[in-house]
Structures are given as structure tokens and as C-alpha cells.
Amino acid sequence: MSIIKQNVSRIMNLVASSCNQVHRLSTEVCPIVVTKNRSQDEVQEMYDLGFRHFAENRVEKLLERQEQFPQEDIIWHLIGPLQKRKVKQVINHIDLFHALDRLSIMSEIDKRLEQPLDCLLEINVSGEETKHGFSPEEAFSAYKESKQYEKIHVAGLMTMAPFEASDEEIRFFFSRLAQLAKKIEEKEKLSQPLQLSMGMSGDFPIAIQCGATYIRIGTSWFETEEE
Ligand SMILES: *Cc1c(COP(=O)(O)O)cnc(C)c1O
């Protein structure tokens, strides 16, 4: 069995058992393949194994990747920060934008969009200065603000845990994101629950236990697990 196949089997088992632990269905969690820095063959193997959700964190890389993989059935996620001047290059080429991180970019996105786009508000739950995103306190008003724009559809929230955080801290941050989503759902009387994009290679089981609906995994699909 190839390394990738072994990893896929291990990761998907872990997704299933993490769901089980908190009585969720595995179908509630969508695994995204973060393809950054991977070869075309590696990404092709994931496609051949049936994965359809692909993500890049940089605009140029995403556009390059789409040239390599023109298949119509791929769902493209932009998961990294977007500069204003690059909005028009990419915004009509993606299916979900995970990193809506400031009010000042909303009008440009709305202006350039040819049709509505699902976006996630990026929340800086840990308050780290190096991280992008709205503070937890700003989340609700950012949600309200987004509703002024016809083509921006905020479908959920996204966060990243700090690199050095302990499992306990990570659990705290991910639960915080889930609570923020709940609060918005209640206040706005939303008929659909908000999506939660959280969890990467190192912390996706915790994210699933805390309610993640999208997990963004890169490294773990492709590399041998370190002991
Ligand atoms: C790179 C990246 C990931 C995936 O990280 P891994 O640790 O390789 O799984 C997830 N989310 C974002 C925003 C990233 O930039």
C-alpha cells in the first residue's frame, strides 16, 4: 500500500472514532485536502482515492493548481489571507473562502463577485498578534455587517489554534469558536447551523470533538507519521 493510502486509512479511521466519541456522524465532517507544496502526482492520488475538496492558502498557488486539475467536480477552498488587489483574480474561481478576516475587504469582494459566494469569518480566538481575523468580541458585528452585502454569504466561522498550544488550550479555543457560532445562530434565528472550519494535521480529532464540520489537513495525508 502506498504511503498516501495508509495515511488516508489511518486519518479516516481517526475521523470516524473522533465522531463516535461525541456521537456525531462521520458524514458531518468534510475532510479538505490542503495541497500546498505537494506534487501533482500526490494530489492526483488523492483525487483518484475519491477526495474532491482541495485547498490552497495562496491565490497564485490555487490558480496554478486549478490549471493542473481542471476537473469540474473539484470543490476549491481558499484558506489563506486575501489581499485586496488579488480579490478579482480569484474570487470567482473558488467555492468557499475560509479567511474573511476584516471588514475592509468585504466591499471589494462583493463588488467583484459575479454570483453569491459562501465565506467563513476567520476568528482569532487565541488573540495571538500574528494571527489574522476578528476577535471573538467582533464576530457578531462582523456577521451583521456582512449581511449588507448581497453576494457575500457568511456560512460559518474558521479558526486556527496556535502552533504551540497544549491539547487543553486547543480544546478551549475550538470550543470557543463553536460557542460563538451558537450565539450567532440563536441571535439571528438561523435555520441552518453555521459551518465550523477548524482542525489541521495535528489537532483535527480535538476539532471534531468540538464540532468541526470542515477539517483542513495537509501534511498528514502525505508524510510518514513521526514517532
Ligand atoms: C497549511 C494549512 C493547513 C494544513 O496544515 P497541516 O498542518 O499541513 O495539516 C490548514 N489550514 C491552513 C489555513 C493552512 O495554511
Pairing mode of beta strands 195-197, 53-56: unpaired
Residue partners of 196: CB distance under 8 A and separation at least 6: 156, 157, 158, 177, 178, 181, 207, 210, 211, 212, 213, 214
Query: How confident is the model over 83-107, as a mean pLDDT?
Result: 98
Alpha-carbon span 120 to 99, nearest angstrom: 6
Query: How confident is the model over 185-206, as a mean pLDDT?
Result: 97
> Is residue 226 pLDDT above 70, yes or no?
no
Q: What is the pLDDT of residue 1?
A: 85
Kindly give the distance from the C-alpha atom of residue 57 to the centroid of ligand 1, in angstroms, as a whole number.
Answer: 8
Helix (H, G, I), strand (E, B) or coil at 218: coil
What percent of the chain has pLDDT above 90? Answer: 96
> Is residue 118 pLDDT above 80, yes or no?
yes
Q: What is the pLDDT of residue 128?
A: 87
CA distances from 91 to 122, 152, 178, 191 (A): 17, 11, 27, 27
Q: What is the pLDDT of residue 130?
A: 82
> Is residue 227 pLDDT above 80, yes or no?
no
Closest C-alpha residue for ligand 1 atom 4:
218
> Is residue 183 pLDDT above 70, yes or no?
yes
Kindly give the distance from the C-alpha atom of residue 186 to the centroid of ligand 1, in angstroms, as a whole number.
Answer: 30
Weakest-pLDDT range from 87-96, 122-131, 209-218: 122-131
122: cell is 476567520
What percent of the chain has pLDDT above 70? Answer: 99
Residue found by looking up cell 493542473 in the block: 68
Q: What is the pLDDT of residue 203?
A: 98
Q: What is the pLDDT of residue 182?
A: 98
CA distances from 183 to 20, 38, 137, 162, 190 (A): 25, 38, 11, 23, 10
Domains and CATH numbers, the chain: 3-219 (3.20.20.10)
Mean pLDDT for all residues in the chain:
97
Pocket of ligand 1 (CB under 6 A): 34, 36, 57, 79-80, 160, 200-202, 216-220
Closest C-alpha residue for ligand 1 atom 14:
57
Residue found by looking up cell 495535528 in the block: 202
Q: What is the pLDDT of residue 225?
A: 78
Residues 6-24: pLDDT tens digits?
999 999 999 999 999 999 9
pTM for the model stands at: 0.97
Q: Give the pLDDT band of residue 52 (cuts 50, 70, 90).
A: very high
Query: How confident is the model over 71-75, as a mean pLDDT?
Result: 98
Q: What is the pLDDT of residue 221?
A: 98
> Is residue 206 pLDDT above 80, yes or no?
yes
